[in-house]
């Protein structure tokens, strides 16, 4: 009887582990989707609104850095902070990104929705679609890339797709290129 109980306990443990592994990616996908949608639901009204008196940020996206710092990987946060700091030193012209890096536009849509979420290991890719007048854009703007760190999703990069300068423009590469350009001057 002891042998049977031991065998039964082992089988149940293995079954439980197997069941947990099959649902785990689904939970990660849902948690990633929820994290990104909650961020955009919080962020878009701030990106669209006029800044209150006394707010010294030049860019609406700096509000996200200030109030949602843990939402970004250290590398992305640092690159965005450097870009904002460099722009703060110059009044006459732009030395940094001249668009909203989370929306890839200067003019936000009414709101943004998540269309597709892909999870692979500890990484997640999320298609973010702008919605204007009740119609969702066919092309995602942008595709957010996230990593799972200590049980929390963090934005690691934003991909913008093909344009006249790149086959796959992304935020980190753009920030690195702008930094190199500033160092040349």
CATH of the domain at 67: 3.10.450.50
Which residue has 């936000």 as its token pair?
A: 108
Q: Kindly list the distances between the CA atom of residue 33 and the CA atoms of 39, 89, 113, 126, 131, in Å, as whole numbers in the listed order.
A: 10, 37, 10, 7, 17
Q: What's the average model confidence in pLDDT over 126-150?
A: 92
* 2 falls within a domain: no
Q: Is residue 88 over pLDDT 70?
A: yes
Q: What is the mean pLDDT of the chain?
A: 83
User: Average pLDDT of 63-87?
Assistant: 95
Quick count: other Cβ atoms within 10 Å of Cβ 103? 23
State mean pLDDT over 96-117.
92
Strands annotated E in 34-132: 111-120, 123-132
Quick one: pLDDT at residue 13?
45
Number of domains the chain contains: 1
Q: Please give the residue that has the higher pLDDT: either 16 or 183.
A: 183
Exposure pattern of 72-102 as b/e (b: 16+ CB <10 Å)? bbeebbebbebbbeebeeeeeeebbbeebbb
Q: Is residue 16 part of a domain?
A: no
- CA atoms of 133 and 149, how far apart (whole Å): 36
Alpha helices for 70-170 (secondary structure H): 74-88
Find the mean pLDDT for residues 144-158: 97
The pLDDT value recorded for residue 4 is: 44
**10 part of a folded domain:** no
- Residue pointed to by tokens 């460099």: 86
Q: Using DSSP, state whether 89 is helix, strand or coil.
A: coil
Of 29 and 11, more confident: 29
- Indicate whether 93 pLDDT > 60: yes
Give pLDDT, residue 156: 98
| Host domain of residue 127 | 24-184
**Confidence at 138, pLDDT banded by 50, 70, 90:** confident
Whether 75 is covered by a domain: the verdict is yes
The reply to whether 86 falls in a domain is: yes
């Amino acid at each position: 009887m002891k042998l049977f109980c031991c065998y039964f306990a082992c089988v149940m443990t293995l079954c439980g582990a197997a069941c947990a592994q099959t649902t785990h990616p689904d939970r990660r996908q849902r948690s990633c989707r929820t994290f990104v949608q909650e961020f955009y639901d919080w962020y878009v009204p701030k990106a669209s609104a006029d800044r209150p008196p006394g707010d010294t940020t030049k860019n609406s996206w700096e509000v996200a850095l200030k109030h949602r710092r843990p939402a970004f990987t250290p590398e992305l946060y640092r690159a965005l902070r450097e870009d904002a700091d460099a722009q703060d030193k110059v009044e006459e012209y732009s030395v940094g990104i001249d668009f909203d890096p989370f929306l890839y536009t200067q003019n936000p849509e009414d709101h943004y929705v998540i269309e597709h979420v892909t999870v692979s290991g500890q990484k997640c890719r999320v298609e973010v679609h702008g919605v204007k007048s009740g119609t969702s854009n066919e092309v995602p703007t942008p595709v957010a890339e996230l990593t799972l760190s200590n049980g929390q999703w963090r934005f690691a990069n934003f991909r913008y797709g093909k344009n006249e300068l790149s086959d796959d423009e992304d935020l980190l590469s753009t920030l690195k290129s702008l930094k190199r350009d500033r160092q040349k001057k």
